[in-house]
Every structure is written in C-alpha cells, then in structure tokens.
Amino acid sequence: MATEASKDTAKNRNQSKGKPRVISNPNDVAGLVMMQIDNINAKKDDLTIAIKGLTDTSKQLVRAYAQQQQVIAKLAKRVKEMEEKVRDS
C-alpha cells in the first residue's frame, strides 16, 4: 500500500510546474530532491551519450578529410607531371 509520503510525491508531480508548493514533511523534501537528482543524472547520461556520438562522428570525418586531402595531393602531382610531359613533347 502506498505511504502518505509517496502519495504526496505523486501529487507534486501532477501539479503544474508554475505553482510552487510548500512542503513541510522532511520525507517529502528528501523524495523531491532525490527525484530531481535522478532527473538530472538521466539528462546528464543522455548528454554524455550524445557527445560521445558526436565525437565518434567527428573523428570519422577528420579521417575521411585527411584521406581525401592525400588523394587530392596525389592527383595534383600527377596532373603537374602530365602537364610537364605535354610541354616537353
């Protein structure tokens, strides 16, 4: 069976967020604080996962960019060599 504190906590969740409620029971305060900490930790975990994903994607993009720069440099060298051959002919 639900305790009085858990009923009050459930009631707090259902109240509109714009209206603060005066809490006098220390158990209610502790419950609300723990709930807020849990919410923050969940959001922090979500942000950590998102940042890790962005970091992995950024690393892949940097690698791909470096490889493309190498290909472009090789092509530029080949074009220059071909132009020199055409001029010498």
CA distance 66 to 58: 12
- Can you give the pLDDT of all 89 residues of the chain as single tens digits? 445 555 555 555 555 566 777 778 888 888 889 999 999 999 999 999 999 999 999 999 999 999 999 999 999 999 999 999 999 87
Q: Which residues contact 15 (CB under 8 A, 6 or more apart)?
A: 21
Domain-located, residue 82: yes
Range of the domain at 63: 24-88
Domain-located, residue 36: yes
How distant, in Å, are the alpha carbons of 10, 62, 69, 83 from that of 43?
21, 28, 38, 59
Domain-located, residue 19: no
> Total domain count for the chain?
1
The confidence score (pLDDT) of residue 28 equals 87
Q: Which residues contact 2 (CB under 8 A, 6 or more apart)?
A: 10
The confidence score (pLDDT) of residue 57 equals 97
Q: Are 29 and 23 in contact (CB under 8 A)?
A: yes
